[in-house]
Structure formats: structure tokens, C-alpha cells
Structure 1
Amino acid sequence: MSVARRRRRLPDEVRTAAVRAVLCLAFTLVGLLVATLASYADSWLLTPALMAMGLGVFGSMWCLLEILISRQIAAQRARGPHAASPMAGSRAAGPAPQARPPQPRTRQASAR
């Protein structure tokens, strides 16, 4: 039987970007609905609704890019500063390896 893993909480900047994207998407869908109904009714609201829908599509794409960028930034912060490679810090940190004390060097007699 497998144990369900708990999902980690998203960083604050990623969550705010996701909420902003959902709001932009909702704004776009409302603009689409108003534009559709205005076109059926031959109303003057068609032009502003189409403009609002265009702005909503642009805003939704902007917000999706913001989510991707903020996720990358959050991942880089989680890895830590001055990482040697992109995968550095991807594993759980274990105990630091213990340094061995220096061994005294002995001179060996050369065999002739």
C-alpha cells in the first residue's frame, strides 16, 4: 500500500501569480460571454467586449509567463546561492563529510 505524499506549499510569489492568472482568465471568459451575447443582440457593446476580451487574452498570457518565471526564481532560491550546477541542491542535504586528519608522510628507503 502506497503512502500519499504531502505536496509542498507553493512560494508566495508563485501563488499570487497563479491567482492573478485565474482572475485574468475569468475576465477573459466574461468578455467572451458578453461579446457573444452582444453579437446575437446586435448591440453596441460588441466593440468594447471584443476589446476587453483581447486585453484579457494578452493579460492571461502575461500571467502565465509570470507563473513560469516566478517558479524558476523560486526553484533557484531553493537550491541556494552559488550552486555549481543546475542540479546542485536537488537532493536532501545529508551530514557533511568528515575531513580526515592529515597523515604524517614517511620517507621510504629506495631499493637499489
Structure 2
Amino acid sequence: MSAPRRRRRLPDEVRSAAVRAVLCFSFTLVGVVVATLASYAGSWLLTPALLAMGLGVFGTMWCLLEILISRQVAAQRMRGPNSAHPMAGSRVAPEPLAPRPFPRPGPGSAPQQSYRPQPSYRPQPPQAQQPQPQAGRPGQAPYRGQSQQPPQLPTT
């Protein structure tokens, strides 16, 4: 007989969400008990107990959704690239590139180029455009996804 498999520990965010869900559920149960006893006694505590119960049900559902979302996030983190888990399905990280040596001034080195600022972009006035032949069969409109000319920038 093999040894029982040990369960993995839940990630911290999932555990804290589960604790909040249990606390909210217990708050809801206390509200249900107080509302039941207040309805039997005909007490004024029935209304606040019903409000607490309603808020508790809403909070419990919220916490259960938080558990589901945090479990999904934790699972994606385990399966994601560069994860440390061996069965995560991630690819092997490529080997780092070897560092290149810095060029040293002296004989045999590349000539040093000085910095030249690039000319700034100035839009040209629109020119008369020559009709270009259409691709495809004669009489057929060109495909909309393929533009015939590069887009023109609007001039002000």
C-alpha cells in the first residue's frame, strides 16, 4: 500500500480569501439564528437581524467569488512562464546571451562617430497623385484590407 499523497499548501491569497469567506458565513448564520429567535419572541431585533442576514449572504457570495478568482490567478501563476514548478508546463528558459566587450579606443578599434541630431519631421504639402493600377482582375475592386497608398498625415 502506498503512502497517502500529501496535499499542497494553498497560496496565501487563496487562504486569506477562504478565511474571510468562513467569517462571513458564520456572520450570516448568527444573523439567521438571531432573526429566528427574534421572530418567535416578536422582538424589535427582527429588522436589524434580517438586514445583517441579507448583508451576510451578499458578503458570503462575494467571498466565494474572491476564492474562485484568487485560485485561478494562483493557478495561472504556477503555469506561467518562468515558474519554478517543474510540472508547470512552461518552456525552458533560454540561455542568457554572452556579454559583448566594450569597444576600446586605440589602434584597430572602430572609428568614433559623433552624435548628430536627426532632422525634425515636417509635413509636405499634398501633391497630385497618379492613379495606380489596381491589383486583381479587371473590373474588380481591390481588397479593402490592402491599401494602395501609404496613409497621408493631415496638414493643418
TM range (shorter): 0.7 to 0.9
Instruction: Give the TM-score, by structure 1 length.
Output: 0.73
State the Cα RMSD in Å: 2.0
Question: Kindly, what percent of the aligned residue pairs are identical?
Answer: 80
Query: Which structure 1 residue ranges, 4+ long, deviate > 4 Å from structure 2?
Result: none
Code of the residue aligned with 1:91 in structure 2: it is M
How far is the alpha carbon of 1:81 from its aligned partner?
A: 3.3
Q: What residue in structure 2 maps to residue 91 of structure 1? A: 87
Greater relative contact order (Cα < 8 A, sep 6+): 1
For structure 1, the 5+ residue unaligned runs are 83-88, 97-112
Contact 1:79 1:90 (8 Å CA) reproduced:
no
Q: Deviations over 1:54-89 (max 9, x none)?
A: 00000000000000000000000011239xxxxxx8
The separation in 2 between residues aligned to 1:2 and 1:60, in whole angstroms, is 39
Code of the residue aligned with 2:68 in structure 1: it is L
Instruction: Give the TM-score, by structure 2 length.
Output: 0.53
> What is the total number of aligned residue pairs between the two structures?
88
The separation in 2 between residues aligned to 1:90 and 1:55, in whole angstroms, is 43
Rg bigger for which structure? Answer: 2
Q: What residue in structure 1 maps to residue 46 of structure 2? A: 46
Higher helix share: 1
Code of the residue aligned with 1:42 in structure 2: it is G
How far is the alpha carbon of 1:12 from its aligned partner?
A: 0.2
